[in-house]
A = this chain, B = another copy of it.
Amino acid sequence: MNKTAVVLLSGGLDSTVTLYYARSKGYEPKALTVDYNQLHKIEIKKAQTTTKLLGLDHCIIPIALPWKGSALLDTTIPIPKNRKAIANHEIPATYVPGRNTIFLSFALSWAEVADAQVIFIGANQLDYSGYPDCRGDFFQALQKSFTLGTKKGVEGAAIHIETPLLNMNKKEIILLGKELHVPFEQTWSCYQGAEKPCAACDACLLREKGFEEAGLIDPLM
């Protein structure tokens, strides 16, 4: 069986753990990063360090979106800070319209050209930030469109979207990362573009809670 897989790698904690998970399952990952002009571009450098370390094929695709509509793209929209109820079904200002659909559509294209049968994405719907494009039912629907809309799908060899972290909480993701020897210092979560994590945005708070519950020290802090 062909074990090539395209792995979406933002450089964040979840996608890096997912990359290591795919390798642990015997896949030969091709890493795909989309540079969508996010403020926290530092995550892309982390992703590059990781794939260099592992000697992986890595594509970074720059897309120049002429629109914004997200606090991750537009410095005039404040990034929410010190929120108490993060996953409270409100969609925060850091939501980027269409982001995972765009990322996965590029992954689909590469997967079909590279003859990969699997796409990995490190989304999770438990300890997450309230983004609708991180939920299982979204991936299921998109999967169906991938099966129907590709040559491989028509030929009965559909490309599958794998979401191994979907129902894990941050603590479990971090423990899995530890088991897989993920270099946590080479992952980035903070939404701010600064050199040190802000320790106040949703991404930082979720990460902090995860490390605390896992009984581990975050090397970035």
- A contact set with B: CB distance below 8 Å: 59, 61-69, 91, 95-102, 104-106, 108-110, 112-114, 132-133, 135, 137-138, 141-142, 144-151, 153-154
Contacts and interface: CB of A to CB of B under 8 A. Distances in A.
A102 B142 CA distance: 12
Contacts of A98: 105-106, 108-109, 112, 149-150
Nearest to A109: B98
29 contacts: A61-B63, A62-B64, A67-B109, A69-B112, A69-B113, A91-B154, A97-B108, A97-B109, A97-B150, A97-B151, A98-B108, A98-B149, A99-B109, A101-B145, A101-B146, A102-B105, A132-B148, A132-B149, A132-B153, A135-B149, A138-B145, A141-B142, A141-B145, A141-B148, A142-B142, A142-B145, A142-B149, A144-B144, A145-B145
Count chain B CB atoms within 10 A of each CB in A114, A133, A147 and give the residue with the most: A133
A65 B69 contact: no
B141 A144 contact: yes
A4 B141 CA distance: 26
A202 B69 CA distance: 40
Nearest to A155: B91
Contacts of A104: 105
Contacts of A150: 97-98, 132-133
B69 A97 contact: no
B59 A61 contact: no
B108 A101 contact: yes
A154 B127 CA distance: 19
